Structure 1
Amino acid sequence: MARRCELTGKGVMTGNNVSHALNRTRRRFLPNLCDVTLLSEALDRSVKLRISAAALRTVEHRGGLDAFLLKAKDEELSVRALGIKKELRATIAN
């Protein structure tokens, strides 16, 4: 399972631990990923996703999963999220 947010594409970053003597050792900054179940009102079902805590706040700020997906860029979304977005557009069009 990749350490990548399914909605924003946020992933692992690398950097250095820097001591007081300026010794540098490599380290990894991991995203704060949460397994959440979000409700899609248009699809009338729940969707399980692994997203970052920041993405969860953004979803709530934009008014739910449906509003977030319709506004999100396709390049940032995972394959599963793209499928949900496509299904969402088809449902709204009908």
Structure 2
Amino acid sequence: MSRVCELTGKGPMVGNNVSHAKNRTRRRFLPNLNDVTLQSETLGRGVKLRISAAALRSVDHRGGLDAYLAKAKDVELSDRAMKVKKEIAKAQAATA
């Protein structure tokens, strides 16, 4: 399982551990990923995703999963998230 957020594309970064003596050793900064089930109002079901804590706050800020995916760039989304986005768009088109 890769350490990449399915909604934002946020992944590991690299940097240095710096000791008091200024010795530098390489290290990785991993994103704060959580397995969550987000509810889609349009689909009427939950969607399991592995997203960062920052993405979870963004989803809440935008008013839910449907609103977040509507504004999200397709390049940043994972394959699973793109599939859900297309399902939501199809369901919204059918009801309108």
Q: CA-atom RMSD, angstroms?
A: 0.5
Taking structure 1 as the reference length, the TM-score comes to 0.98
CA distance in 2, matches of 1:31, 1:3: 7
Q: Structure 2 matches for 1:1-94, cutoff 5 A?
A: 1-94=1-94
CA distance in 2, matches of 1:48, 1:80: 9
The Cα of 1:32 is off from its aligned counterpart by 0.2
Structure 2: 5+ residue runs without aligned partners?
Answer: none
| Percent identity (aligned) | 73
Amino acid of the structure 2 residue aligned with 1:14: V
CA distance in 2, matches of 1:88, 1:13: 32
Structure 1: 5+ residue runs without aligned partners?
Answer: none
